[in-house]
């Protein structure tokens, strides 16, 4: 996994730190055991008090020693790289039962895959997801900028072109159409398949009037079932 996520963690120190935590827990337990047992097994009261105090001090010294050791090791452990594209989700890679819960590898695949929505050299689509549900989509021209001035993905601005504004509207309608709350994966797949039909946005004639342009626009509507192209006004 080290080739996928740059984990700058000192594993040796990590292992020692876990042992140090166990030692600290033991020494703290001994302190409470000592308090619980109280003054026992001595002939005189003075002898019992002295033995108890000495025992108690020994235990507190042990706690102090184990705590210092843990603090020393915690500085050596280091921390995972924060440059990972999945941010905190990258921590899933540390799950020791990868075979049973391959969430991390699936996330990586989804991440790489989601960076390819761009459709050919026709358009770019920003698909905003909330958990597994598609929240909204914004369609822009292939040459349009999709980042804000500070380098973040701009998920709010509309396209400058009427044709992509139309496609954005239709994509929003499509999201309402492909609603299956119990099967979000099917929704994503259906929506993406529908979206992919726009790769021929400027090449497919309208299936009703047969023309490429109407009012200066190509057929911007795609049938949800057949994926056929229609002008907005020809789809009824």
User: Would you tell me which residues interact with Zn ion (CB under 5 A)?
Assistant: 206, 208-209, 231, 234
Nearer to Zn ion, 141 or 205 (CB): 205
Which residue reads 């905003």 in tokens? 128
Tell me the closest approach of the beta carbon of residue 229 to Zn ion, in angstroms: 9
**DSSP at 119:** B
Minimum Å gap between C-beta 121 and Zn ion is: 24
> Token digits for 191?
């929506």
Q: How far is the CB of 151 from Zn ion (least distance, A)?
A: 40
* Nearest-approach distance from CB 200 to Zn ion, in angstroms: 15
Instruction: Compare residues 137 and 220 and give the one whose CB is closer to Zn ion.
Output: 220
Q: Is 7 or 229 the residue whose CB approaches Zn ion more closely?
A: 229
Q: How far apart are CA 143 and CA 134, in angstroms?
A: 24
Q: Which of 171, 236, 225 is nearest to 198 (CA)?
A: 171
Pairing between β-strand 229-230 and β-strand 221-222 as defined by DSSP bridges: antiparallel
For residue 207, give the nearest of 168, 235, 185, 166 by alpha carbon: 235
State which residue has the least CB distance to Zn ion: 206
CB-nearer residue toward Zn ion: 125 or 204: 204
């Amino acid at each position: 996994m080290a080739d996928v996520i740059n984990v700058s963690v000192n594993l040796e120190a990590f292992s020692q730190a876990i042992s140090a935590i166990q030692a600290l827990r033991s020494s703290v337990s001994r302190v409470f055991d000592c308090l619980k047992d109280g003054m026992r097994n001595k002939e005189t009261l003075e002898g019992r008090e002295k033995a108890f105090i000495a025992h108690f001090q020994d235990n507190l010294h042990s706690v102090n020693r184990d705590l210092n050791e843990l603090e020393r090791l915690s500085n050596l452990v280091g921390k995972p790289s924060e440059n990972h594209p999945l941010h905190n989700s990258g921590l899933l890679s540390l799950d020791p039962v990868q075979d049973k819960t391959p969430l991390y590898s699936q996330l990586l695949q989804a991440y790489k895959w989601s960076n390819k929505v761009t459709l050919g050299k026709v358009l770019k689509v920003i698909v905003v997801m909330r958990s597994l549900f598609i929240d909204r989509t914004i369609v822009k021209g292939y040459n349009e900028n999709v980042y804000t001035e500070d380098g973040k993905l701009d998920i709010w601005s509309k396209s400058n072109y009427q044709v992509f504004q139309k496609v954005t509207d239709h994509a929003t309608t499509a999201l309402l159409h492909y609603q299956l709350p119990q099967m979000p994966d099917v929704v994503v797949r259906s929506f993406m398949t529908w979206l992919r039909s726009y790769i021929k946005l400027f090449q497919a004639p309208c299936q009703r009037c047969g023309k490429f342009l109407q009012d200066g626009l190509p057929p911007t509507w795609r049938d949800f079932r057949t994926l056929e192209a229609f002008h907005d006004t020809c789809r009824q």
